[in-house]
Amino acid sequence: MIEAELSRSVQRWCPGATGVTGAARLSGGASQETWRFDIVHPGGPVGAILRRSPKGYGAAPTRAAGLAAEAQLMQLAYEAGVPSPRVMHVLTADDDLGTGFIMQRVEGETIARKILRDDEFAAARPHLARQIGGVLAGLHRLPQDKLPELRSRNATQEISEFDRDYHSLNWPKPVFELALRWLRDHDPGPSAETTLVHGDFRNGNLIIGSDGVRAVLDWELAHLGDPMEDLGWVCVNSWRFGEIDKPVGGFGSREEMFAGYEAAGRKIDPARVKFWEVMGTLRWGIMCGGMMQRFREGPDHSMERAMIGRRASETEIDLLRLLAPRGR
Amino acid sequence: MQDEPTPVELTKSVADFLRNDITPLISGHQAFKLRVAINILDLVTRQLTREEGSDASEVERLRALLGMEGSVTDLNRALAERIAKGEVDLATPGLAEHLWATTMDKLAVDQPNYASYKRELEGGG
């Protein structure tokens, strides 16, 4: 059904295109869908991805930047040489596909366990931490005057927001309270420099090939803030998938990432990175609680959501390892 | 007293049936969901096995820390409030040990294969 609408759409903006084939839903919830398909073209098939909110799902959740902003950011990143898919078309009412955009499909792997273990990525792995530093440096220097309108968040505002989110769950967790206290006591205040922050830069949102990072995806939590936030988030233990001695996504050391960042001409503040790692660990724990709440209250009464609720304790042990390491 | 077999024996028998007899017959997304279902049954089995003992020691530690009585939920709520108010912190004797013991007991049920948990069990820090 979606193929008919996609066919009509591509024929309007892609010269030579005659239709589409192989449309398949990839992932996402009810309000955000991702589809893959191939554009039929005399020059050969063109792999494409549709990201959209279907008709009737106009409003983005409060933290999300919105699909139009996402398309704009990906295009800016692409133009600046930050690994990113090329945006081919931003949907209009004439497309009759809802709101969103179509981008070129980048081949590669997003599943962390494969990237961390499969032979195909063996040559890329030792370089990924440093490369990620370089990619983040490029992302943080995207020209501010060209950015779409984005929410702005400093550390103090984030702490209050997480405090509120956590307490709204009515889910007393002494370790989370301890983390909130620690964050308040170590709040570094507004950063000297405010930049674009990706907001969800981690394993799973990076397309990786045998040659390294090929694309940064899922810009929906992009905002303006402390660039060190992205460096802390990518170090959260939950994205290391067992490789706990390699903080940067299970790929390598903080030092390698920092070196890549600094080689691109940007400065590191390790204390701020640590602050954001603690914040990120708590953030994921609270998100697990949100999953539990949605599982209980619907509409998604799925086993997967229920089990993600039980993953909050992983963040509790990681917070203790960060804040109260056992003396050895 | 409820009759036997025990809840642990029952959940374990269902999990084993799904794992051994049904898994080979299922593929694709349903296979993923089946794995999640088996994981849930395994988690419930671990909780049924361990909960009584770990809750009892948690309550004992909480009573000593807080100097009050109550259910495990009430005591946790009280501890969370005291930490939020700054009345109790990592300098408070026994707090870090209590949080570690409680968290290790949770991981033993929720995610015994989690790398941080395995590292702490080994005493690797």
Query: Using an 8 Å Cβ cutoff, are A15 and A22 in contact?
Result: no
In a shared domain, residues B45 and B98: no
Query: Using an 8 Å Cβ cutoff, are A240 and A314 in contact?
Result: no
Q: How far is CA A207 from CA A215, A289, B42, in A?
A: 5, 28, 33
Q: Whole-prediction pTM value?
A: 0.93
In angstroms, the CA A102 to CA A87 distance is 6
The pLDDT of residue A62: 60
In a shared domain, residues B62 and B115: yes
In a shared domain, residues B66 and B114: yes
In a shared domain, residues B32 and B60: no
B28 interfaces chain A, CB cutoff of 8 Å: no
pLDDT band at A269 (very low <50, low <70, confident <90, very high): very high
Cα radius of gyration (chain A): 20
Residue A124 tokens, joined: 């890329």
Q: Is residue B117 part of a domain?
A: yes
Place of tokens 């049904």: B22
Classify domain A20-104 by CATH number. 3.30.200.20
The pLDDT of residue A212: 96
Q: Is residue B78 part of a domain?
A: yes
Domain that includes residue B81, residue range: 54-123
Query: Using an 8 Å Cβ cutoff, are A274 and A283 in contact?
Result: no
| Contact across the interface for A314 and B80, Cβ inside 8 Å | no
| Contact across the interface for A328 and B90, Cβ inside 8 Å | no
Place of tokens 């992983």: A314
Residue B17 tokens, joined: 């049936």
Q: Is residue B37 part of a domain?
A: yes
Residue spans of the domains in chain A: they are: 20-104, 112-323
- Best of B44, B71, B110 to disrupt the A interface (most A CBs within 10 Å) is B110
Checking if the pLDDT of A167 tops 70, the result is: yes
Nearest CA in chain A to B37: A303
Which amino acid is located at A283 in the chain? R
In a shared domain, residues B82 and B39: no
In a shared domain, residues B39 and B64: no
Q: What's the whole-number average pLDDT of chain A?
A: 93
B114 interfaces chain A, CB cutoff of 8 Å: yes
ipTM, two decimals, is 0.95
In angstroms, the CA A284 to CA A287 distance is 5
Of all residues in chain A, the percent with pLDDT exceeding 70 is 96
> How close A111 gets to chain B, by Cα (Å)?
15
Question: Dihedral, CA atoms, A34, A39, A43, A44, nearest 10 degrees?
Answer: 70
In a shared domain, residues B70 and B31: no
For residue A103, the 8-state DSSP code is E
- Collapse the DSSP code of A99 into the 3-class scheme (helix H, G, I; strand E, B; otherwise coil) and give the result: strand
Q: Is residue B2 part of a domain?
A: no
Helix (H) or strand (E) holding A209: strand A206-209
Contact pairs from chain A to chain B, CB under 8 Å: 94
- Collapse the DSSP code of A194 into the 3-class scheme (helix H, G, I; strand E, B; otherwise coil) and give the result: coil
Q: Is residue B69 part of a domain?
A: yes
> How close A162 gets to chain B, by Cα (Å)?
14
In a shared domain, residues B92 and B75: yes
The pLDDT of residue A113: 93
In a shared domain, residues B58 and B119: yes
Nearest to A238 by CA among A306, A130, A322, A314: A314
Classify domain A112-323 by CATH number. 3.90.1200.10
> How close B66 gets to chain A, by Cα (Å)?
13
